[in-house]
Amino acid sequence: MPYVIGADFGTLSARFLLVNPKNGDEINTVVMTYPNGVMEETLHGKPLPEDYALEDASDYLLVLRQGIQTLVRDAKIDPSEVIAIGVDFTASTILPVDQKLMPLSQQKKYMDNPHAYVKLWKHHAAQAHATRAASIAKDRHEAFIKRYGDQITSEWMIPKIMEILTEDPDLYNDAYRFIEGGDFIVSHLIGEESRSACQAGYKALWHQKEGYPSKAYFKALDPRLEHVIEEKMGSMVKPVGTMAGRLTDQMAKALHLVPGIPVSTAYIDAHSAVPALGITTPGNLVMILGTSTCHMVLDHEEHLVKGISGVVKDGIIPGLYGYEAGQACVGNALEWFVETMLSKTDHDEALSLGITPYELLERKAIIKAPGASGLVALDWLNGNRSILSDSDLSGMILGLSLRTNPEDIYRALIESTAYGARVIIEEFESQGLKIDRLYATGGISKKSPMFMQIYADVTGRPIHIGQSEQAVALGSAIAAAAIAGSKNGGYDTISDASIAMGKLEDKVYVPVPSHIKTYDKLYRIYRNLHDHFGVSHPEWMHTLKNIKTNDMKGQSDE
Residue ranges in contact with a copy of itself by CB under 8 A = 329, 332-333, 336, 340-344, 346-348, 368-376, 381-382, 394-402, 404-406, 512, 514-515, 518, 521-522, 525, 528-529, 532-533, 537, 540-541, 543-545, 547-548, 551-552, 554-555, 557-558
Q: Which of 58, 178, 63 is nearest to 115 (CA)?
A: 178
Inter-residue contact 448 to 362 (CB < 8 Å): yes
Distance CA 366, CA 422 (A): 21
State in angstroms the smallest separation of the CB of 131 from a copy of itself.
20
Closer residue to a copy of itself (CB): 26 or 155 = 155
Give bridge partners of residue 16 from the DSSP assignment: 7, 30
Find, among 85, 170, 167, the residue nearest to 126 by Cα: 167
- Could you give the CA distance from residue 330 to residue 444 in angstroms, rounded to a whole number? 10
Nearer to a copy of itself, 304 or 341 (CB): 341
Q: Taking the complex as a whole, how short is the minimal distance between the CB of residue 209 and a copy of itself, in angstroms?
A: 39
Residue 411 near residue 338, CB atoms below 8 Å: no
406 neighbors 445 (Cβ within 8 angstroms) = no
Separation CA 161–CA 164 (nearest Å)? 5
**CB 402, min distance to a copy of itself, A:** 5
Measured from the CB atom, the residue of 382 and 441 that comes closer to a copy of itself is 382
Q: Smallest distance, Å, CB 557 to a copy of itself?
A: 7
Write down the least CB distance from residue 181 to a copy of itself, Å: 27
Q: Looking at beta carbons only, is 1 or 525 nearer to a copy of itself?
A: 525
Compare residues 138 and 368 and give the one whose CB is closer to a copy of itself.
Answer: 368
CB of 203 to a copy of itself, least distance (A): 24
Nearer to a copy of itself among residue 236 and residue 544 (C-beta)? 544
Query: Which residues neighbour 62 within 8 Å (Cβ) at sequence distance 6 or greater?
Result: 35
Please say which residue, 507 or 537, places its beta carbon nearer to a copy of itself: 537
By beta-carbon proximity to a copy of itself, the closer residue of 337 and 428 is 337
Does the N-terminal peptide bond of residue 83 adopt cis geometry, omega within 30 degrees of 0? no
Closest CA to 365 of 314, 408, 316: 408
CB of 35 to a copy of itself, least distance (A): 30
Contact 153, 324 (CB under 8 A): no
Minimum CB separation from a copy of itself for residue 552, in Å? Answer: 5
Pick between residue 44 and residue 369 the one whose CB is nearest to a copy of itself: 369
**Separation of alpha carbons 147 and 200, rounded Å:** 13
- Contact between 275 and 475 under an 8 Å Cβ cutoff? The reply is yes
Cβ pair 16, 5 in contact under 8 A: yes
Please report how close the Cβ of residue 355 comes to a copy of itself at its closest, in angstroms: 15
3-state secondary structure 508-552: EECCCHHHHHHHHHHHHHHHHHHHHHHHHCHHHHHHHHHHHHHHH
Closest contact distance (angstroms) between CB of 150 and a copy of itself is 23
Rounded to a whole number of angstroms, the minimum distance from the CB of residue 292 to a copy of itself is 11
Residues with Cβ within 8 Å of 231's Cβ and at least 6 positions away in sequence, in order, are none
CB-wise, 434 or 521, nearer to a copy of itself?
A: 521
Cβ closer to a copy of itself: 273 or 412? 412
Q: Which of 61, 14, 23 is nearest to 3 (CA)?
A: 23
Q: CA 281, CA 367: separation in Å to the nearest integer?
A: 37
Judge contact between 18 and 5, C-beta under 8 A: yes
Shortest gap between Cβ of 340 and a copy of itself (angstroms)? 6
**64 or 444: CB nearest a copy of itself:** 444
424 near 459, Cβ under 8 Å? no
Using an 8 Å Cβ cutoff, are 280 and 495 in contact? Answer: yes
**Spatial separation of the C-alpha atoms in residues 240 and 125, rounded to whole Å:** 29
Distance from C-alpha of 413 to C-alpha of 408, rounded to nearest angstrom: 9
Length of the chain in terms of residues written? 558
Task: Specify whether the backbone of 168 is left (phi greater than 0), alpha (psi in -120 to 50) or beta.
Answer: beta
Report d(CA 251, CA 258) in Å as an integer: 9
CB of 369 to a copy of itself, least distance (A): 4
- Minimum CB distance to a copy of itself smaller for 109 or for 521: 521
